[in-house]
Amino acid sequence: MDRVIVYVDDAAYAQQILAPLLAREAAANTRWVLVACAPRMTHRISKWVSHSARENWRAKWADKLFAQIVPMLPLSGARVTTLVAKGPLAELTDQLQAEEAAAAQVLDARRPKMDAPQEPAMAKPRWSSLPGTLGSLLTGCGALWMLAVE
């Protein structure tokens, strides 16, 4: 029996990622381990919400997510295990891989973050990285020097 560990945080995106995997004939005899990756909460939220309330919210959020994903999995012979990630995913993956001798396929079906800084297409000029006041001063001195030379 194959084993697939799937990290999810959005049902619609996960369905798109899982569709080719579910089309295989072997998908019916697969053990699915669905790991819900709840949205991150700021450390300042502890001022307003207790730890148990946060854990309850994560559990309810994961139940809603699993209710959307589990019905699309082929359940004729497949086993589905669900859990909520509570720590670093690398450690959780190692722990899940250690449960059985055969290595499991790991699939990251989490929606990519769009607010992450992306590398610029062109390299910045060297002088643009100078602090605002120093850069302005050097630009002004350069302009005055050019006027004096003419």
Q: How far is it, in rounded angstroms, from Cα 29 to Cα 74?
A: 9
Amino acid in the structure at residue 73 = L
Amino acid in the structure at residue 16 = Q
CATH topology of domain 2-109: Rossmann fold (3.40.50)
**CB-based contact 74:18 (threshold 8 Å):** no
Partners of 35 in the β-ladder: 7, 83
**CB-based contact 129:120 (threshold 8 Å):** no
Partners of 32 in the β-ladder: 4, 80
| Structural domain boundaries in the chain | 2-109
Question: How would you write the pLDDT of the chain (150 residues) with one tens digit per residue?
Answer: 688 899 999 999 998 888 888 877 666 678 889 999 988 887 788 788 888 998 899 999 999 999 999 888 876 667 888 999 988 889 988 998 888 878 888 888 898 877 655 544 444 444 555 556 766 777 777 777 777 777
Q: In what order do the strands lie in the sheet with 30-36?
A: 79-84, 30-36, 2-8, 105-109
